[in-house]
């Protein structure tokens, strides 16, 4: 299994600013994933982050808005840029290796005011 | 395109009663299916998963699910619900043939348990 730590657990931010969310895994993993869960909604995959290469974004998500770093096999960051109230969501980091299961962090609850 | 549908947005059951949460999927190949539970303010916890083999899978907390290919369904069941089961339940299908991390989630079902 994998233990995932996300920071911050929650934040309230002013519109127009940016927030960087950190995700730390207790073991080395090839791929890390970032999801968004808008209020009352399901989880939507934002992007897949591979170490040593650019992240792969899903339809509707762009790098300028959600830049991702993956400097090593245990760490990744997601930045939510130029925030608006519509970005208020829970952002979750996930890892999965092979076909076992996906492990999720506790999430970062972001409120943009 | 792959998709997951959970027809019931909100379900209320009495404590001790049986539970069935519905999940239908659309996937071109053999699906990898999961049920996750999310308690308020908590992350996602895996209840059970189906990859292949026996179509009735057992999970944690007394949950089970049955994969029915003919109906494209993977319904979650529990014979007797406890108050602590009140939470949000998500069905998911693996979107990648090579990695469990890339999942497509259903809309979720909120379970309320009456005393």
Digitized pLDDT (tens) for each residue of chain A, 113 residues in all: 788 999 999 999 999 999 999 999 999 988 899 999 998 888 999 999 988 888 999 999 999 999 999 999 999 999 999 999 999 999 999 987 665 678 898 999 999 99
Instruction: From chain B, pick out residues whose CB is under 8 angstroms from the CB of A105.
Output: 43
Query: DSSP E strands: which ranges in chain A?
Result: 4-7, 10-13, 19-25, 31-37, 43-50, 56-57, 68-72, 75-80, 89-96, 102-104, 108-112
Q: Touching check for A97 and chain B: CB below 8 Å?
A: yes
Q: Which residues contact A40 (CB under 8 A, 6 or more apart)?
A: none
DSSP label at B61?
G
The number of beta carbons lying within 10 Å of the beta carbon of residue B45 is: 15
Q: Touching check for B25 and chain A: CB below 8 Å?
A: no
Q: How far is CA B60 from the centre of its chain?
A: 12
Q: Which of B8, B21, B43, B97 should we substitute to test contact with A (largest number of A Cβ atoms within 10 Å)?
A: B43
Q: Is B43–A45 a contact, with Cβ atoms under 8 angstroms apart?
A: no
Instruction: From chain A, pick out residues whose CB is under 8 angstroms from the CB of B23.
Output: none
Using the CB atoms, write b or e for B24-34: b if 16+ within 10 Å: bbebeeebbbb
Q: Is B43–A106 a contact, with Cβ atoms under 8 angstroms apart?
A: yes
Q: Which residues contact B20 (CB under 8 A, 6 or more apart)?
A: B75, B76, B77
Q: Is B101–A104 a contact, with Cβ atoms under 8 angstroms apart?
A: no
**A96 closest CB neighbour out of B42, B90, B100:** B100
How many beta-carbon pairs below 8 A join chains A and B?
A: 61
Percent of chain B clearing pLDDT 90 (strictly above): 70
Instruction: From chain B, pick out residues whose CB is under 8 angstroms from the CB of A111.
Output: none
Confidence of residue B101 (pLDDT cuts 50, 70, 90): low
> Is residue B102 over pLDDT 90?
no
**A96 closest CB neighbour out of B99, B104, B106:** B99
How are beta strands A10-13 and A108-112 bridged, if at all?
parallel
Q: Quote the radius of gyration of chain B (alpha carbons, Å).
A: 13
């Amino acid at each position: 299994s994998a233990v995932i730590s996300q920071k911050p657990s929650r934040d309230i931010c002013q519109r127009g600013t940016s927030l960087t969310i950190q995700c730390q895994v207790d073991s080395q993993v090839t791929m890390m994933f970032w999801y968004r869960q808008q209020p009352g909604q399901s989880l939507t995959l934002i992007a897949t982050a591979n170490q040593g290469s650019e992240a792969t974004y899903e339809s509707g998500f762009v790098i300028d808005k959600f830049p991702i770093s993956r400097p090593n096999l245990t760490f990744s960051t997601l930045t939510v840029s130029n925030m608006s109230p519509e970005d208020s969501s829970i952002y979750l980091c996930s890892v999965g290796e092979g076909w076992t299961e996906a492990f999720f962090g506790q999430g970062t609850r972001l409120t943009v005011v | 395109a792959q998709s997951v549908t959970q027809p019931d947005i909100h379900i209320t059951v009495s404590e001790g009663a049986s539970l069935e949460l519905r999940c239908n999927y659309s996937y071109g190949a053999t699906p990898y299916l999961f049920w996750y539970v999310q308690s308020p303010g908590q992350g996602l916890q895996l209840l059970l998963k189906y990859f292949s083999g026996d179509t009735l899978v057992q999970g944690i907390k007394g949950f089970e699910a049955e994969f029915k290919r003919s109906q494209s369904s993977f319904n979650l069941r529990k014979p007797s619900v406890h108050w602590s089961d009140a939470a949000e339940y998500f069905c998911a299908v693996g979107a990648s043939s090579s990695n469990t991390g890339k999942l497509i989630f259903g809309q979720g079902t909120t379970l309320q348990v009456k005393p």
